[in-house]
Structure 1
């Protein structure tokens, strides 16, 4: 009796490969698909709702405090721009929340294995990354715009001299736009960290370190080294200092280091975003999912 013996234990496993020469779907179709994925992700909605709710709550609390100070001491009232700046304090929480969404937007695909389906539909990896980035930008831009507008509305209703119509003031509108851009850029920073690390926990932790821990460490180092020039340069290039210089025209008044021009702050922020995005894209292009 003849039998055929197959040794499955030593069989060579099949590897997952993608033919990048295939055209796949178009960029717009890929972007629509990635946006649909964000909408289907429950975390997207939770983080977005918390972002708007927290931003509006903080705006109301700040406006109420300003109004109370103004009632007790007219010298503490402040001007419309200063009130508007303080009313956007919730944008700092929006950065960590929507930055975390940027991390999750890419790492979820690795944890579930869905990245293979995405690459099958869109074999061109850079096209896929561009579509994911565009979908993330549209989502976070919309959420941030809602938060900014509602925060302004509530702040202007509670605190004087800020009014609803001041949203068309050049300085205040420019500050709101800068705050909006900073949140969107931070979501892309999170996306780049997630792309590079492929770990939700790792990406979110590093994002938190960049936004909060690094600032404290450099402040301590600045004092320990007797205000060393090289530490001062690091503090100027630190992420949240760049955000403050981009958003707040009066940032230099309360900073330990000299203020930067707005364009310098934006260049610094773009570099912060570009580094993990570039490294993550290179890793994505050279390693299978």
Structure 2
């Protein structure tokens, strides 16, 4: 016999089975992807993530070509470079990450703050009451979008650079740096996607778009400025220089360069100061992202959403 409901009716088989539905990670990810696709901000920000690298690369290569073409004969005699160098070009391509990281940061912040600003967070948690599952699904969705957009952008940058230097003499990368292009094309999008998770954590902590963006800019700009001022004022605190290279902005620059312009392998630099290699900088960025993501998850789980 079908049990009666509190209103005097009877629960149908469909309603009875819905009470036992288990929400899985894949279903949550699919739901979050649908949400992201429906947001206009996603298309704008991911469009910028794709377009900025090739545009910045084109401008940089153009300036490089103009500089070389304007070299005077006396400069050439003194040993100044008179041809393009793939080491410099790849460094420029990787350097676009320092601009794109702001875009993916805003994307990660808005992915969670838009839920709070519209009140959609309540219905989202009614459907999926597990806060951890909700955050992980949103984070994986962000990671997929950010990685694919950044990957496409860097591939376009490489193609733009290839077209712009075609027919010209370009010094090839040395064999010892042959890994560099792979790190830049595949690794930099990976790190940018990781930074979107850092931004997601900040958005969960601040719950407002403006607050999250200010916090993100503070970590990537203001923090290094403060540490630099301390290093300048206190000449005795040379250890501050080791702290500076571990900040997110410095670590991103180091990783995006893929060690193409470096001769050492990281570790202790001059005066025993820590000077991370490009791969160590990548691990540092992973640590920063993990810290803020987990902190955001903790705050999200413990704070009342109303």
| Interval of TM-score (by shorter of Structure 1 and Structure 2) | 0.7 to 0.9
Q: Equivalents in 1 of 2:303, 2:218: separation in Å?
A: 27
Q: Equivalents in 2 of 1:211, 1:185: separation in Å?
A: 14
**Kept in 1: contact 2:246–2:284 (CA 8 A):** yes
- Indicate yes or no: 2:37 matched with 1:39: yes
Q: CA deviation at 1:51?
A: 2.7
Unaligned runs of 5+ in 1: 1-20, 164-168
Q: Equivalents in 1 of 2:185, 2:44: separation in Å?
A: 24
Q: Equivalents in 1 of 2:107, 2:263: separation in Å?
A: 31
Unaligned runs of 5+ in 2: 1-18, 173-177
Which residue in the other structure is 1:121 paired with?
A: 127
The farther-off stretch of 82-91 and 195-204 is: 82-91
SS in 2 for 1:25: coil
Q: Compute the TM-score of the two structures, normalised by the length of structure 2.
A: 0.79
Q: Judging changes above 3 Å, is the alpha-carbon distance between structure 1 residues 197 and 238 closer, same or farther for their aligned structure 2 residues?
A: same
Q: Which has the higher helix share?
A: 1
Determine which of 51, 54, 70 is the counterpart of 2:52: 54
Q: Judging changes above 3 Å, is the alpha-carbon distance between structure 1 residues 37 and 251 closer, same or farther for their aligned structure 2 residues?
A: farther
- Indicate yes or no: 2:290 matched with 1:277: no
Structure with max Cα Rg: 2
Which residue in the other structure is 2:242 paired with?
A: 233
Q: Equivalents in 2 of 1:228, 1:280: separation in Å?
A: 32
- CA RMSD across the alignment: 2.6
1:207-259, CA deviations, whole angstroms, 9 ceiling, x for partnerless residues?
11111222222223222212622311321221111112222213689x99753
Q: Equivalents in 2 of 1:139, 1:261: separation in Å?
A: 28
Q: Judging changes above 3 Å, is the alpha-carbon distance between structure 1 residues 144 and 125 closer, same or farther for their aligned structure 2 residues?
A: same
Q: Equivalents in 1 of 2:256, 2:25: separation in Å?
A: 33
- Indicate yes or no: 2:100 matched with 1:91: no
- Indicate yes or no: 2:27 matched with 1:29: yes
- Indicate yes or no: 2:203 matched with 1:205: no
Which residue in the other structure is 1:261 paired with?
A: 277
The farther-off stretch of 275-284 and 46-55 is: 46-55
SS in 2 for 1:88: helix
Q: CA deviation at 1:35?
A: 0.7
Which residue in the other structure is 2:4 paired with?
A: none
Q: Judging changes above 3 Å, is the alpha-carbon distance between structure 1 residues 88 and 268 closer, same or farther for their aligned structure 2 residues?
A: closer
**Kept in 1: contact 2:105–2:195 (CA 8 A):** yes
Q: Compute the TM-score of the two structures, normalised by the length of structure 1.
A: 0.83
Which residue in the other structure is 2:254 paired with?
A: 245
Q: Judging changes above 3 Å, is the alpha-carbon distance between structure 1 residues 62 and 42 closer, same or farther for their aligned structure 2 residues?
A: same
Q: CA deviation at 1:175?
A: 2.6
Give the count of matched residue pairs: 265
